[in-house]
Chain A
């Protein structure tokens, strides 16, 4: 997922996003989201490309690359670096914490041998802390890619991660 995209792939992706969301300033975040979704992160050369594409005289937009970067770096769902093939996002907010999230996190760290914010050397796994994802009734919770796991206990971690190996 996180392989370096070719220039033409990136251009095609941008064209498609622009067709869907337009070239107004308010299209910036949806376009960034789409790039992030397809490639897994936003490659550095995308900033210039997006800026050039959105700087249309009709819209009166005069964005700099730094504007695009500023927006992309602000939002947590947008990644500026390649991630592992699978991304674990674990909730570190209070509702999960009081029902045992720390023990679950420690089990994941032991299983993968990485700390929060890191990617395994084989580029298979990234472990990313996140704030509440709104399924607190079944905490502790984590997401693997798009799949949600709730009521997780430390002894279930190995079995759950195995499903992705």
Chain B
């Protein structure tokens, strides 16, 4: 039995070596995806192009422009009228238009005196980044205005002189002049002056303190935010653990389906069926090479993710491998099922793509499941990748143990048994 399976496996590898198109799909595709998702696909926009329409043109407005210039997230493209700025947004030459109205000052309360910001929403990811960065920037502008105001008040209070009380005209002072020797009187006068000044200073400090309490300090108002597991919110840390699953399901489903249908289409399957090879030996012999290649692809994406893209892997390798194998088994079964219902490679390719593309879109690989309406989300619940992704991402980034995900692992196990079981039965039946 093992000799026959060995012959099949060896034959598959000879064919794979010669079939450059298939080989390219299996090796180049994961590498291509790695490059795409590791380097090219980045939802964080580094620099936002800003156009300013300065209708005020005074010190306060120039302060805002200076702050835009100094902000490293923004690239000031130049000044324009609001109309010109809008045109630049329309043409896609700028991401954000900041309009500083004529009556603007740091504390404008009137609607038509406030800063106005327009963002190009047609570019989804730029708009989201721009909104986040503009909000941060406006907070900074507010903070600087506030600090400036505080400093001005403090300076004014500090510079104000405390008047020394002049007692020379009062009858009590005349009495004291008569009683006290001149030296003691001078001392008394100075002590009194010091005390008055001290009292005034204390009152001023108390007021300053009160003022500081009353003025909201934007820094103190801001909650302390710690981003856990992916502190820099790097897209690559999110994408690579998902890519591990995508590569597994893509390579195994597509390759298995094509590999078996090719035999059917070329008539070689008939030769195999007439030979002493049993149906499960034939199935094992066909699946094992794709299983091996999928494992190689998995390790490739896994290692490149960790060593080249610095994606942290905080979980345990072995349990993660086990869950991945479970997922892989289901994917092989899916490929086998596709091959059973396809008559030629074109059909198999179409059907495989039909099962894979929804997984790409609806599994949460790119778009969050939580954002999907239930009308669509139930479709996601049917897809194996939907259950593998959270496990993979959390094992990578949070260091969670994969077996803590009981539901996900159980569903993957059911899929593995169901797909491979049904496919094996159909395979056996179709071979007579």
Q: Are the chains A and B members of one assembly?
A: no
